Structures are given as structure tokens and as C-alpha cells.
């Protein structure tokens, strides 16, 4: 594949992602979930990612949300080992019954501390898009936003601060700094709305 070019593989992955997530909406919204997957793929491409990384971005939640290890093997057969390993590296759970929220997040943070650059790039794009969405919703809906998240306000803020610090320590992507800024805005918003 030529650098900076997408092939029919990306189109096939897009269709596969659509089929997997067609009935899924973003938490607490009427936004089709595919919007998030497209945004993450766009961020990965804009950050210099190749087609494999863009495909992994489209499929990054497939294992976690749509079938566990069975889905992972389907991804491996359709798109290859590299894509499958990135998707696995971006998943905080592979079981159909997920462990407790805090346990999953702590394990995921520990995993990211040693994850390779491909996983970091896709994971960072995912978390940046999520954080931007949370910040926008905070500005519109205030504290009601936190009811959407298993970690609530304190847990969600802890998790995104830990992620931002980890990506900034590990990488050289401008998106790591951007995530830090967005999380800082989330923290300031919450602090300004206390009392």
C-alpha cells in the first residue's frame, strides 16, 4: 500500500464496523456509534497512521463491545495479525461478562504503560475523541453527564487524567498534549461548578 492511501480493505472494514455497531448509540445520546469510530479513524490518519491503524481504529471497540475473542478471530482472518493485535491492545476486556469498571481501567492503564506505538496511537485517538465529547456534553448538560459513566464524575476524571499523563509521558504525538488540555478543561469546568 502506498503511504497515505487507503484501499478497498478500509472500505470493507468500514462496512464490517457498521454491521457490528449498527444498533449501538453513543452513551446517553442519539448519535450513532459509527460516528465515534469514524472520528477515531480520522484522528489516526491525521496523526500519520497507515491503513492498518485506520482499520484498527474503526474496529477498536469490536472485541470489547461486540463478541469478545470470537470477534477478534474474525478480525484477524479478515484484516490480518497487525490489525487484530492493535484491536486487542485497545480492548479493556475480552470477556462477554466484563470485570468491575475500576479493575478494568487500572489494568488497561498498566497495559498502556508498555504497549507498542501502534496501540498507543489508536488508543490515544479513541480517548481524545471521547474526552472532547465529554467536555462538549458537560458544557451543554452539566453534571447530568456523569450519570452516563460507570465511574461517575470522580472515577471518570481520575481515568482521563491518568490516561492524559500516561500518553504525554510515553509519546510524542501532539494529540497527547491535546488530550491533556481537554482533560484540564474538564477538571476546571467541574471545579468551577462546585458549590
CA distance readout (Å), 54 to 6, 122, 145, 161, 183: 9, 8, 29, 25, 24
Grid coordinates given for 4: 497515505
Active site residues: 64-65
Architecture per CATH, 8-192: Orthogonal Bundle (1.10)
> pLDDT in tens for each of the 195 residues of the chain?
445 689 999 999 999 999 998 887 777 778 899 999 999 999 999 999 999 999 999 999 999 888 889 999 999 999 999 999 999 999 998 887 788 999 999 999 999 999 999 999 999 999 999 999 999 999 999 999 999 999 999 999 999 999 999 999 997 789 999 999 999 999 999 988 764
Which residue carries 466484563 as its cell?
A: 98
pTM equals 0.93
Amino acid at each position: 500500500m502506498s503511504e497515505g492511501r487507503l484501499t478497498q480493505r478500509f472500505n470493507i472494514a468500514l462496512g464490517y464496523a457498521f454491521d457490528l455497531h449498527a444498533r449501538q448509540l453513543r452513551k446517553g445520546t442519539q448519535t450513532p456509534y459509527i460516528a465515534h469510530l469514524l472520528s477515531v479513524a480520522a484522528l489516526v490518519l491525521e496523526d500519520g497512521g497507515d491503513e492498518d491503524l485506520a482499520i484498527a481504529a474503526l474496529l477498536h471497540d469490536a472485541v470489547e463491545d461486540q463478541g469478545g475473542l470470537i470477534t477478534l478471530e474474525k478480525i484477524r482472518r479478515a484484516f490480518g495479525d497487525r490489525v487484530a493485535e492493535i484491536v486487542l491492545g485497545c480492548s479493556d476486556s475480552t470477556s462477554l461478562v466484563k470485570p468491575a469498571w475500576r479493575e478494568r481501567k487500572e489494568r488497561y492503564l498498566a497495559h498502556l504503560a508498555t504497549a507498542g506505538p501502534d496501540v498507543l496511537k489508536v488508543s490515544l485517538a479513541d480517548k481524545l475523541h471521547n474526552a472532547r465529547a465529554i467536555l462538549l456534553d458537560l458544557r451543554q448538560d452539566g453534571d447530568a453527564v456523569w450519570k452516563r459513566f460507570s465511574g461517575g464524575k470522580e472515577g471518570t476524571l481520575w481515568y482521563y487524567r491518568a490516561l492524559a499523563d500516561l500518553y504525554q509521558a510515553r509519546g510524542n504525538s501532539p494529540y497527547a498534549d491535546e488530550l491533556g488540555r481537554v482533560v484540564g478543561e474538564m477538571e476546571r469546568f467541574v471545579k468551577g461548578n462546585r458549590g
